[in-house]
Amino acid sequence: MNTIVKGALLTVAGVAALVMVLIAGLLGSADADMTDDQGGVQGVPPEYEPWILKAVAECRHPELTAALVAAQIQQESGFNAGAGSHAGAQGPAQFVPGTWATWGQDADANGRTDPHDIGDAVIAQGRLMCSLLGSAKESRYRDDPRRLALAGYNAGWGAVQRFGGVPPVSFSGGETYHYVRIIMASMKRFEAAGPASTLAVHGSGRGPDALRRAAHFIGTPYSYGGGTPNGPGTGFCDGTNGYANGRCSAESTVGFDCSSLVQYGYWPDVQLPRTAAAQYNATSDRPVTRGNLKPGDLVFWADRSGFIYHVALYAGEGRVLHAPRTGRDVQVQPLDTAMPTTDYHGATRA
């Protein structure tokens, strides 16, 4: 990114050669069509997927889709976390130090802010792109806001202002011009037609908004103890839970468990506590019968002792959205088969 910095160090001939190779491999006949599916993504390394979805979920602009973020990472680094350039750009999103100082944060909570950390880099990329989309929409330039934002990411927003849109092919050897076209053309390959695009959430208000927010993470792995109001995270094992094939998988799995997914969906509008049992206690004064369930209502299951062990969000049409257990992903299932029918405890409204 930041062509102004990199352009001073790259020769026009070198850039032109690189562009021709990339065009031959990636450029189709036309730019990708606009899509309103912000959740689906395919063809990305599994360690990138939850962070891409989180970056999209945090942006208020629907133009920032998972496919757009993925196509941009592909163009920047080919999903290589160790990528670097002689111009000083680093990591999968290719941040130069000055830009990283503004947008970088310890998104994966590992104690360091590192452009080579996948979580840190992708969240920073999403935040910068979200800001640029806002600038693009406010500018009223006659072009797709996604194209304008990509140009700003690559060359700096000042270059977009200078030309009143995407810089022409004559600017910096055509790097920015082709950067934008290649990403727009390659988005389709990353658009998933799977379950993340099948949950249509209608209406507004606390419940539908929480369901819509949580649904961005359909397909994200279950991680016992993982996830916070800020998004997916690694979990832990407690001697019983969090294990797969005899090994503690939660410690290395970025995802949600059932209650952290619900907590994330409602945060910060409703700051629910962390566990399923605590969430029931916090909302039990607002019970809902099965016949009156609405999207976003909290649905609970309990064992024979009455201990509430699982929570889900009602997704409409007799279905729930939930993080089932270790080895499974966040998904939509029929309420009657999501957990044992005899364990159904009841539902509440946040």
Please enumerate, as own/partner, the contacts of 5-8 that have beta carbons within 8 Å and a separation of 24 or more.
5/87, 5/88, 5/89, 5/96, 5/98, 6/85, 6/87, 6/89, 6/96, 6/175, 7/172, 7/173, 7/175, 8/87
Distance CA 225, CA 344 (A): 22
Q: Which residues pair with 80 in a beta bridge?
A: none
Reduced to 3 states (helix: H, G, I; strand: E, B; else coil), residue 62 is: coil
Which one from 47, 49, 63, 76 is the annotated catalytic residue? 76
- Give per-residue burial for 204-215: e unless 16+ CB within 10 Å, then b: eeebbbbbbbbb
* CB neighbour list of residue 319: distance below 8 Å, 6 or more residues apart: 332, 333, 334, 335
Pick from 204, 202, 155: nearest CA to 175? 155
138 is a catalytic site residue: no
**Cα Rg of the chain, angstroms:** 22
Distance CA 168, CA 174 (A): 7
Amino acid (1-letter code) at residue 182 = I
Active site residues: 76
